[in-house]
Amino acid sequence: MSTLSDAPHSSSDGRHTATSAAARGPGRALRWAPMIVTVVVLGWSALELINLAVKHTTGPEIYGVLTAALATGAGVASVALLRSTRPQLLVVAAVLVLWAVIAIAGVAGSVAHIVGPVAGHGQVDLRPRPIAAPLIFTVLGVVGGATLFVGQRIRTKPAGESGKE
């Protein structure tokens, strides 16, 4: 007889052994991964909101602050949806659309940085505009939306289904 197959799942002092971790398999980590990524996206969105709220205060620069606020709100909604025990298809769809809008706003921000300020659109700030900087919202939108989608798929998959047919 093998000692590994006969090993108890926990030791006498209540600690889990290596065999109990192996018995659980990768499913537990797979279920927590979307939540961890979503929390990182939420934190990054909040940092961008704070950063842009201090620096982008004139004219059309406010759109960057608005995009950061939307990303932070979408991050909070994503965390709440991933923690929810009830499936809420319409709310998930609405948050996925919001993530898509945020991703598109990142591309639009890059275009605005390339074109620069137009006449009649508020005060003009003469600071240099980094062209790729708004693309962080495209990354946040794609990662946030994909993580919410995958997290919902993992959560709604029946427990006995392993992905094989």
**Separation CA 100–CA 52 (nearest Å):** 20
pLDDT at 163: 52
Question: Residue 18 CB: number of other CB atoms within 10 A?
Answer: 9
Residue 77, pLDDT above cutoff 90: yes
Determine the angle formed by the axes of helices 27-55 and 135-156, rounding to 10 degrees.
Answer: 150
Average predicted confidence (pLDDT) for the chain = 80
pTM of the model: 0.74
Binning pLDDT at 50, 70 and 90, where does residue 115 land?
confident
pLDDT at 121: 63
